[in-house]
Amino acid sequence: MADDAIQMLKDDHKKVKQLLKDLTSGSGDKKETLRKIEKEVQTHTHLEETIFYPAYRKELDTIEGKDLVEESLEEHHLVDKILEDLNGLKVDSAEFRGRCTVLKEMIEHHIKDEEKEMLPKAEKQISKTKLEEIGKRMKQEKQEFKPERVIKVS
Ligand SMILES: [Fe+2]
Ligand SMILES: [Fe+2]
């Protein structure tokens, strides 16, 4: 179902994984791809941090659930830091390519953690109705959210 929170998150993950592949492969407009990644990542992490994670923490009121959320928040923070470090770089520089590779690895690792641990637990323990309700809130917020930062590379 389209409004299901878990499906929405997975769809975003798929999209960003493809963009990261484009960013680190030889072809295409890197500036444009990075701009898309930044927008996707900022929006996605915003939805998770303000809606999905708090709901998850509440519904799965266990130490394990809380720890998974903390780990995820820390990973968001690291991804954000790498994105910030790309600011001002030239797309044809070794620094740019190196940081993009780390960005890709970090995001892929984070997505794997969410999809292998966090989301299956949510699917098992949060009711379908509740997941749809969370999904609806995320969908609405997604339409209204404007990412703040825009990376400038040349
Ligand atoms: Fe995610
Ligand atoms: Fe996340």
Q: Average pLDDT in the 72-77 region? A: 97
How many A from CA of 29 to the centre of ligand 1?
A: 25
The pLDDT-based confidence of 91 (bands split at 50, 70, 90) is: very high
CA 153 to centroid of ligand 2, rounded, Å: 24
Domain of residue 63, residue span: 5-144
Going from the Cα of 57 to the center of ligand 2, the distance in angstroms, rounded, reads 14
For residue 147, the CA-to-ligand 2 centroid distance in Å is 16
Residue 92 within any structural domain of the chain: yes
Instruction: With respect to residue 60, please indicate whether it lies within any of the assigned structural domains.
Output: yes
Nearest to 77 by CA among 65, 66, 85: 85
Torsion of CA 146, 74, 122, 5, to 10 degrees: 10
Number of domains forming the structure of the chain? 1
153 within domain boundaries: no
Q: Is the pLDDT of residue 3 over 80?
A: no
Mind giving me the DSSP string for 4-33?
-HHHHHHHHHHHHHHHHHHHHSS-S-HHHH
Is there a domain that residue 18 lies in? yes
pLDDT at 152 over 90: no
pLDDT in tens, 97-120: 999 999 999 999 999 999 999 999
Q: pLDDT tens digits, residue range 11-62?
A: 999 999 999 999 999 778 999 999 999 999 999 999 999 999 999 999 988 8
